[in-house]
Amino acid sequence: MAEGRAYLERRRLEQLVSSEMERLRSTAGSDIHARLLARAGDGLPLALQAPDVSGREEEMIFHGAYLVGADERKFEAVLGSLAAEYRDAGVEFELTGPWPPYNFVPEELQAS
């Protein structure tokens, strides 16, 4: 009986963690995107990358691309504020780039 109960408790904990991660992805993702977009010329959320693609063990909760012009410091300041706010939730931010703006090429101009 003890093994069965322990199994059920582990499953319940796994489901709780999974549910909380989904909630964090949804609420934090929306907040992060809106605040970064306010300091960028354009931006869009991208598909989350699996740990084997991202090169990190941690699960990704948000992935986005932003066109940042002359206000690069303001964009980085918002990113720093977000990092400080989400630190206690275990969220880390990583800024990479600059990258070519291929995410913002209109579909009709993309190669088939």
Share above pLDDT 90 across residues of the chain, in percent, rounded to a whole number: 36
Residue with tokens 């964090």: 24
Residue 109 forms part of a structural domain: no
Its domain, for residue 13, covers: 2-103
Please provide the average confidence, as pLDDT, over all residues in the chain: 87
Per-residue pLDDT tens digits for 43-78 = 999 998 888 888 888 888 899 999 998 778 999 999
Nearest to 80 by CA among 36, 30, 34: 36
Residue 111 counted as domain residue: no
**Distance of alpha carbon 105 from alpha carbon 59, whole angstroms:** 28
The count of structural domains within the chain is: 1
- Long-range contacts made by residues 71-78, C-beta under 8 angstroms, separation at least 24? 71/39, 74/39, 75/36, 75/39, 75/40, 77/39, 78/35, 78/36, 78/38, 78/39
Tens digit of pLDDT for each residue in 76-97? 999 999 999 999 888 899 998 8
